[in-house]
Amino acid sequence: MALIELKNLHKRFGRLVVLDGVDLSIEAGQSLVILGASGSGKSVMLKHIVGLLRPDEGEVWFSGIRIDTLPERQLMPIRQRFGFLFQMGALFDSLTVAENIAFPLIEHTHKSASEIRQIVAERLRMIGLPGIGQKMPADLSGGQRKRVALARAIALEPEVILYDEPTTGLDPIRSDVINELILRLKRQLKITSIVVTHDMQSAFKVADRIVMLADGKLIADGTPQQIRQSDNPAVQRFVTGEASPEELSVLRDID
Ligand SMILES: Nc1ncnc2c1ncn2[C@@H]1O[C@H](COP(=O)(O)OP(=O)(O)OP(=O)(O)O)[C@@H](O)[C@H]1O
Ligand SMILES: [Mg+2]
């Protein structure tokens, strides 16, 4: 049985159709990369997986439970089985790094202060930033902030982590640190990973499987090797980073 299943998912905002019949099954332990142009609906798709958005039509299943129809109260325990590294990686600016990581533990568990301190220290070690617990988010680099956000996302030992553009805005070395962390979490914690990215190097490094979203549908689905060799022109352009003549036509008026 698939751990996560999206069945015929449809979502529109006003007249804008974002998801137009998405079907996707994700096996436990898999690391899936979702590619797609800006605005193609990748973040919207992730939000459906954790019940932050509800589909207009279609179903979302997690671990044998249909979740898109569950009331908010019953979604809470399910959401705790997910770690979500949001696109904006928002940390609470007025809290220290340690308090940020402790936040979900205080909110959702009855662990003692000393247990929480231990978990926070352990998570900081896992992301390779031991001893920065007392710093404020404003004093960290962008890459460090992403890693702290990741430490917070794994505070509750989730079964699944959703990464929304985890390497965007980072230099290649910092990006690779994040890629290695994604791989390590998958290996050490047997976590199922779903990674939205524009970063092809990252995609090919972390993925067991890659899908691509375009015009509200999945237009490609395969191993990294199959995606590299795809004969779909839209997929090829994405992989090689070359715009089509239509895509370049937006520049016509600039010359
Ligand atoms: N809550 C919302 N209300 C109205 N429109 C929305 C909402 N969320 C997303 N959209 C619109 O849906 C479309 C898809 O958005 P989404 O954030 O999923 O894109 P994306 O593929 O994640 O893009 P990017 O790569 O730039 O992050 C966009 O046109 C966006 O403006
Ligand atoms: Mg997005």
Q: What is the pLDDT of residues 42-60, one digit of tens each?
A: 999 999 999 999 999 999 9
Q: What residue ranges line ligand 1, CB within 6 angstroms?
A: 13, 16, 18, 36, 38-44, 87
Closest atom of ligand 1 to CA, residue 47: 18
Q: pLDDT at residue 252 above 80? A: no
Pocket test for ligand 1, best of 18, 54, 218, 238 (most atoms within 8 A of CB): 18
**How high is the mean pLDDT of the chain?**
92
More confidently predicted of 16 and 175: 16
Write down the pLDDT at residue 89. Answer: 66
Report yes or no on whether pTM surpasses 0.85.
yes
- In sequence order, which residues have a C-beta less than 8 Å from that of residue 77 and are 6 or more positions away? none
Ligand number nearest to the C-alpha of 12: 1
Band (31; pLDDT cuts 50, 70, 90) = very high
Asked if 244 and 237 touch (Cβ cutoff 8 Å), the reply is yes
- In sequence order, which residues have a C-beta less than 8 Å from that of residue 183 and are 6 or more positions away? 31, 205, 206
* Nearest CA owner, ligand 1 atom 27: 38
Cα gap 140→130, rounded to integer Å: 13
Q: pLDDT at residue 242 above 70? A: yes
